[in-house]
A and B are shown apart, each in its own frame.
Chain A
Amino acid sequence: MPKDSDQIDSGIGASPKRREDVRFLTGTGNYTDDINLNGQAYVYFLRSDVAHGRIVSIDTSDAAAMPGVVQIFTGADFESVGGIPCGWQITDKHGEVMQEPAHPVLAQGKVRYVGDAIAAVVADSLEQARDAAEAIMLDIEELPAVIDMKAALKEGATKVHDDLTSNLCYDWGFVEENKPAVEEAFAKAAHVTTLELVNNRLIANPMEPRVALGDFNRATGDSTLYTTSQNPHVIRLLMGAFVLGIPEHKLRVIAPDVGGGFGTKIFHYAEEAFCTFAAKALNRAVKWTSSRSEAFISDAHGRDHVTTIQLALDSDNNFTALRTDTHANMGAYLSTFAPSVPTWLHGTLMAGNYKTPLIYVNVKAVFTNTVPVDAYRGAGRPEATFQLERVIDKAARELGVDPIALRRQNFITEFPYATPVAVEYDTGDYNATMDKLEEIADLSGFAARRAKSEASGRVRGLGVNCYIEACGIAPSNLVGQLGARAGLYESATVRVNATGGLVVMTGSHSHGQGHETSFPQVIAEMIGIDESMVEIVHGDTANTPMGMGTYGSRSLAVGGSAMVRATEKIIAKAKKIAAHILEASDADIELKDGQFSVAGTDKSLAWGDVTLAAYVPHNYPLEDIEPGLEETAFYDPANFTYPSGAYACEVELDPETGKVSIERFAAADDFGNIVNPMIVDGQVHGGIGQGIGQALLEAAVYNEDGQLLSASYMDYAMPRADDLPFYQVDHSCQTPCTHNPLGVKGCGEAGAIGSPPAVVNAVVDALQSMGKDVTHIDMPLSPARVWAAMNG
C-alpha cells in the first residue's frame, strides 16, 4: 500500500521543503559563473556565421596585437590533441559500425554549422577578446549547406564530412531478424494505420547558460575545470583521457550549483576542453561564459526526427505489428551520446504499454550542417511515445472505436513482460493508471465542458495517451553490448562523523532535482534519525567517488540505490560495534529510531554513542573490525526501470484564429515508490511544461542556408506560466520496481515524454469535432499551423 503522504512528516514519503531552495531563491547559490580566480583571462569564441564553408585562411596578426590580448588559438593549435569523443558506437543493420567523424576542439579545414568555433581569443577582459575577434581576418569559401535530412542522403549530396562516404551516420535496424515476420503481419493485417510526422527540434534553454573555467597549478601540475555539467566524472574521463591526455589524478572537475541541464549539460563540449587546455598553455585561469545568443547555436539541440509509423491490427482491433522508419538528425558532429538517442533509447521503447508481438524499427542517423543534436529531457523516449500514441489515436479514429478502449484492449497486463524490442518490463499496471486518469481528469464531465466551450464559440478537444519509459539507466554489461563506451553504475560514499551526522558523497549530480533534500530522507529513514543530520555532497571529482551523473531519471533509482547499499554496510558495521558494547551478538542487534537495542532485552545504545565509539575506539572490537564508519558502494542496476502512466489534455481552440489553449491537464503516473511526493509533483509539472512547450510553442527552425531562424527568444517560443494550466497529477498507482532496493522507478522525464501526444491528440480531436478532416498537425501547434490545417 502506498503511504499517504499527508500523514508522513519525515523520512520516505514525506514532503519536506527543498533545503537547496534557500540558496537558490535568495541569490546565494554558487554557480560556475560566480567563481572567479585570481588573474583569470576571458575567452571569446569566434563562431562561424555560415553553415558550411572551407576555411581558406585565418589571419590573426592584427587581432593578436590588440589591447589586452593574451593569445589567439585556432584549429592548428589543437592538432596535437584529441578530438571531442563520442560515447556511444552504434552498429548498423549490416553489422558495420557507424561513421564517426573527427570533432576538433576548434574547426580544422571546414566550418560545419552556424556556431562552429573557428578561433578562440583569450584576453584580459571579455570586451577586449570580442574586439580582437572582430579584427581576425577570415577567408571562408562558402559551400552549399546540407540541412534537410532526406536531401542529405541523396546520391551526390554535398558531404558534411569529406572523409566519410556519405552523410549517413548509420542505418539501424531493430530487431533486424524480426523484419520478415513484421512484413508478413502487415500483409495479413485487417487494418493498417499510417502516420508521417516530425518530432520538432528543440533547444533546451536551461536558465543558466553554460560556463567553463579552466585553471592550472604550475606548482603541482594539476588542472581544474569548473563547469556547468550534469556529470563531472564523465567530463573528467572524456576530456582527460580522450582530448587532452591528462590522467584523472591530475585533473579535477567541479560542477557546483548548476542552473538546470535537461540533458544539454551531459555532454563534453569543446569549450570545456579549450579552457582546460588554454589554462595550462597560458599558466592562467581562462573563463568562458556563454551568452544566451551563443547558447542557441552551441548547446546541443534535442529531438529532430522525421518518422513514418505504421500500425497493423487484426479484425478484432488487436495490434499485430508495428514498424517505424525514422530519420534522426545528428547535426554536424556526434555529440557525446547522440547515436544512442534514436536507437537504444528510442527503438527499445516502441512497444509502449502494448502487447504488439512484432516490431521493427529502422533509424537512419544523418549528418547535416546544423548544431549537433543529442539527449534532451526524455531523449528518444518522447520520440517513441509521440509516434506510437499518435498512430494509435489515428487508428482509433479510422476504426471508429474509443481511443481509451483500444488502448486498454491492447495493454500488457502480465509482468514481467518481455517486449519484442529487447527489454523486459518488471512491473506495471496500465489499467490502474488509466482508471486513475479517468477519475482525476474527470473524463465523464468532458461532454458538459465541451458543450460549455461551444456556447462561448470555442471548440474543445480531449486527448489521452499512455507512455512507458526506460529509466534508471542502466545495466553496464547490457549497455556495453549495445555500444556504450561507458558503464552506467552509480556510486556513493557514506561518511558517518564521530558525533553521528552523515555526509553522503554521491556520483549523482543535482541541478534542480532536489537531491539534497530527497536523498537524506532515505538515509534518515534507514537509520531512524532526523534528515537534518544528513548532508549531500556532489559535483566535485575530488571529493566524490567515480560516478556517472544525472540524466535518464537515474539518480534515485541508481544513485539512491548505491547510497542505500553503502548505508547498509554502515548499519551492519555499526551493529557490530553496538553488539560489542552491549555485549550481545550482532545478530541480536536491532536498529530502530536511531537506537540500537538487543532483541528481547531493554539494553540499548543511541546512534551517536556507536558513531563516537567508531572514532574513539576505546571499548571497541579492534581485533575484528577497523575503527571509523565510512563505506562506499557502487551500484549497477540489474535492469532499467519502467515508469508508466496515462495523461489527458483538454484544449480549447479558437476556430477563427487557430489559437490553442490548454484548459486541463491530468497525469496519472506510476513511479513505483515515492520518496518525496512534493518533489515528484514538481518534476512532473516541469516535465509537462516542457512537453507542452514542445507541443505548442518550441521549434528550432533552420532555413535552407543553414541559418537558425529561431536564434533568440524573439523567435524561439518558450512556455510561460500563462501558457500552462493547473495540473492534476497523481502518483498513487505504485507498482514498485522489483530490482532496486528502494522500489523506485524515476520521475524526471515522464512529464516531457507523456505530454506532447496528449496535446496533439486533443487538438486533432477538437478539429475533428468541427468536422475538419485533419488527422495530424506537426508540432509546434502554433496558431498559424492550426489555422492552416483547419483551412487546408
Chain B
Amino acid sequence: MYNFEVEKPTSIADAVAALGAEEAQALGGGQTLIPTLKQRLASPSKLVSLSGIAEMQGVRLEAGTVCIGGATPHGVVASEAAAAYPALAALAGKIGDPAVRNRGTIGGSLANNDPAACYPAAALASGAVIVTNAREIAADDFFDGLFTTVLEEGEIVTEVRLPVPEVANYQKFVQPASRFALVGVFVAKFAGAVRVAVTGASEEGVFRWSEAEAALSRNFSADALEGLSVAPEGMMADIHGSKAYRAHLIAVLTKRAVAAAA
C-alpha cells in the first residue's frame, strides 16, 4: 500500500465534500479496493469511508420497492430483504464468504461493475433505480462496460431501489477459483414483462437477454426458452470457460432460473 489519508464522514454531504479533494476515492466495504491498494495498483490520496453514514444503511420496503442504502453490506441484505425480495436476498447471501458479506456493500459492488459480480444482474433484471448524491439513474443506463459505470468522479451511490417482481430467481454458476459468477442469470417476472439479466459472460459486462425476455413474457416457462441461444461471439473466454461454454451456460441457467421461479 501507499500512504493515504482516511476520512469517515457521517453524512452524504460531508462525504461528497471530502471526495472533492484531488485523487480522493470512496471506500465502501473495501473488499475490492483494499486488495487493489495492497497490490499497489491504485494510489488514492484519500479514502472516504462511507460506512459511518447512517442514511446510507439499511433495507426498507416502500410501495413494492426494496430500497437499500448504498453502504449496506451484503449480509444485511441477505437477512433483511429475505421477506420482501427473496431472490435478491438469496443472491446477496451467496456473494463471497461471511467476511466478504459482512464488509462488502451494494453500492461498492454496483460502482465497481465487475463483469462477474452478482448485484449488477439483480439491479438490471429488477429494473432498479440507482440513486446517487446527484441524480437517479435507471439500471439500464448505469452500466457501461467492464468495470465502468456512468458515475461521475466523486459521485456516490447512496441508495438502490429495486422494484419487487412477482417471482424471481438468480442462478449463479460459480467460477471454481474465485467463486464469482462464471455465468449468473437473474430472471424477474413483473406483471407486464419479464426481465433477464446475465452477468459473468459478456465482454461488455452485464446485459439483458432480450430474446429470452420476449419469449418469457409470452409464456413464463422453461419450455418457452427451447431453441433459444446466445451467440458465443462477444462472450468472455479465460482458463475457466470458453466463449461457447459461457454462451451455453446462459441458456441452461436461464431455464433453471425460470423453473425455480415459476
Residues of A bordering B, CB below 8 Å:
127, 130, 134, 293, 656-657, 659, 696-697, 699, 701, 709-710, 713-718, 780, 782-784, 787-788
Taken together as a complex, chains A and B put the C-alpha atoms of A308 and B176 apart, in Å, by 28
Q: Is the CB of B239 within 8 A of A699?
A: yes
Q: Is the CB of B176 within 8 A of A783?
A: yes
Known contacts A656-B252, A657-B249; A784 and B173 CB within 8 A of each other: no
Q: Which residue of B lies closest to A134 (CB)?
A: B40
Contact with A787, one of B39, B40, B176, B248 (Cβ below 8 angstroms) = B248
Q: Is the CB of B173 within 8 A of A715?
A: no
CB distance from A529 to the nearest CB of B (A): 46
Nearest 10 A-B pairs (CB), nearest first? A717-B177, A717-B176, A784-B241, A714-B178, A784-B245, A656-B252, A715-B177, A701-B239, A709-B239, A697-B176
Taken together as a complex, chains A and B put the C-alpha atoms of A659 and B174 apart, in Å, by 10
| In the complex, B242 has a CB within 8 A of chain A | yes
> Which residues of B have CB within 8 Å of A293?
39
Count of CB-CB pairs between chains A and B under 8 Å: 48
Q: Is the CB of B245 within 8 A of A710?
A: no
Contact with A788, one of B176, B245, B249 (Cβ below 8 angstroms) = B245
| In the complex, B193 has a CB within 8 A of chain A | no
CB distance from A99 to the nearest CB of B (A): 32
Q: Is the CB of B178 within 8 A of A710?
A: no
Contact with A715, one of B39, B178, B248, B252 (Cβ below 8 angstroms) = B178
Best-buried of A130, A780, A787 by chain B (most CB within 10 Å) = A787
| In the complex, B240 has a CB within 8 A of chain A | yes
CB distance from A472 to the nearest CB of B (A): 36
CB distance from A167 to the nearest CB of B (A): 25
Q: Is the CB of B242 within 8 A of A788?
A: yes
Q: Which residue of B lies closest to A709 (CB)?
A: B239
CB distance from A677 to the nearest CB of B (A): 33
Q: Which residue of A lies closest to B3 (CB)?
A: A127
> Which residues of A have CB within 8 Å of B245?
783-784, 787-788
Best-buried of B39, B176, B177, B245 by chain A (most CB within 10 Å) = B176
In B172-196, the 8 Å CB interface with A consists of: 173, 176-178, 182
Known contacts A130-B40, A293-B39, A787-B248; A713 and B177 CB within 8 A of each other: yes
| In the complex, B42 has a CB within 8 A of chain A | no
CB distance from B250 to the nearest CB of A (A): 11
Q: Which residue of A lies closest to B241 (CB)?
A: A784
20 extra interface residue pairs, beta carbon distance < 8 Å, beyond A696-B176, A699-B239: A656-B252, A657-B249, A701-B239, A710-B239, A713-B178, A714-B177, A715-B239, A716-B177, A718-B177, A780-B176, A782-B176, A783-B173, A783-B241, A783-B245, A784-B240, A784-B241, A784-B245, A787-B245, A787-B248, A788-B242
> Which residues of A have CB within 8 Å of B231?
none
Name 8 interchain pairs, CB-CB below 8 A, sorted by A.
Answer: A659-B173, A713-B177, A713-B178, A715-B240, A782-B176, A783-B182, A787-B248, A788-B245
CB distance from A297 to the nearest CB of B (A): 13
Contact with A657, one of B1, B173, B238, B240 (Cβ below 8 angstroms) = B173
Known contacts A784-B241, A784-B245, A787-B245; A657 and B252 CB within 8 A of each other: yes
CB distance from B205 to the nearest CB of A (A): 17
Taken together as a complex, chains A and B put the C-alpha atoms of A699 and B240 apart, in Å, by 10
Taken together as a complex, chains A and B put the C-alpha atoms of A525 and B113 apart, in Å, by 63
Taken together as a complex, chains A and B put the C-alpha atoms of A130 and B1 apart, in Å, by 9
